[in-house]
Amino acid sequence: MFLDEKYVKIMESYSLDIENNKLQQISYYLNMLLNYPANLTAIKDKYIAFEYHVIDSILAAEKTDEFSNAKIIADLGSGGGIPGIIWAILYPEKTFYLVDSIGKKTEALKKFYHELKLKNVNVINKRIEEFARENISKFDIVSSRALARADIALEYSALATKRNGYIALFKGPLYMEEEQKFAKKASKLLKVKEEKIIKYNLFEEEQKDRYMIIFKKYDKTPLKYPRETGVPNKMPLGGSK
């Protein structure tokens, strides 16, 4: 399989060392993602997409210690498969559940994992609120990227997370400025606690700050959460938008 040297250079610039066969699979995935007939990502330049989507997913996982022991992980609102498909390529020994309510996205995800011959991916076409009620305390880590404001993402994630497991939210700097106060209110109700904030940078020149916000589930989440489908987003636990 052809491997674009520029991807290797980008990886090196972040001091990342990924086996060649995995990098080839990631490059094949990115090619499918960017050329898929339905629009799955706004970014059309493959090198920018590589940095914005792929490096973001890799750095987030590598910098999160909790990730190394996790065996079963959910990616809520996976869209075109970020981070779920990239993580499934990188960590074949872990099992991933990728959830999205939009049928054309889950169809694309099924095609991608089939083409990539991934054996560790489950794609679920469902609203997250329903998925959570059917998968209580199942996951070591429940993660999401660009899904919703932090308090809403927490309500979606908490029930399906194991006790002493983690919720991992991909966020930008606006988390501290705008979302943290909402997340705090929701955390108390859901029995989760913000444990740490992991910072990393994307794009050398612009130094784009990215954050993984890690919450620990310290007790059982009351079964009334997540509330009925659509309610978490309409009436967020942290207060009105």
Ligand X SMILES: C[S@@+](CC[C@H](N)C(=O)[O-])C[C@H]1O[C@@H](n2cnc3c(N)ncnc32)[C@H](O)[C@@H]1O
Question: Which residues are at the interface with ligand X (CB under 6 A)?
Answer: 77-79, 82, 99-102, 105, 127-129, 145-147
Nearer to ligand X by C-beta: 26 or 82? 82
Nearer to ligand X by C-beta: 172 or 195? 172
Residues ≥6 apart with Cβ < 8 Å to 99:
74, 75, 76, 77, 78, 124, 126, 128, 131
CB of 126 to ligand X, least distance (A): 7
CB of 39 to ligand X, least distance (A): 11
CA 175 to chain centre: 16
- Is 129 known as a binding-site position? yes
Residues ≥6 apart with Cβ < 8 Å to 223:
136, 159
CA 208 to chain centre: 18
User: Distances from the Cα of 226 to the Cαs of 70, 129, 132, 133, 159, in angstroms?
Assistant: 23, 6, 7, 8, 7
- Is 177 known as a binding-site position? no
Nearer to ligand X by C-beta: 63 or 104? 104
- Is 81 known as a binding-site position? no
CB of 148 to ligand X, least distance (A): 6
CB of 6 to ligand X, least distance (A): 22
Nearer to ligand X by C-beta: 79 or 165? 79
Nearer to ligand X by C-beta: 62 or 193? 62
CB of 145 to ligand X, least distance (A): 4
How many CA atoms are closer than 13 Å to the CA of 233, on its beta-carbon side? Answer: 7
CA 129 to chain centre: 16
Phi/psi for 119 (5° steps) reads -105, -5
- Is 210 known as a binding-site position? no
Binding residues: 77, 128-129, 145
Binding residues for S-adenosyl-L-methionine: 77, 128-129, 145
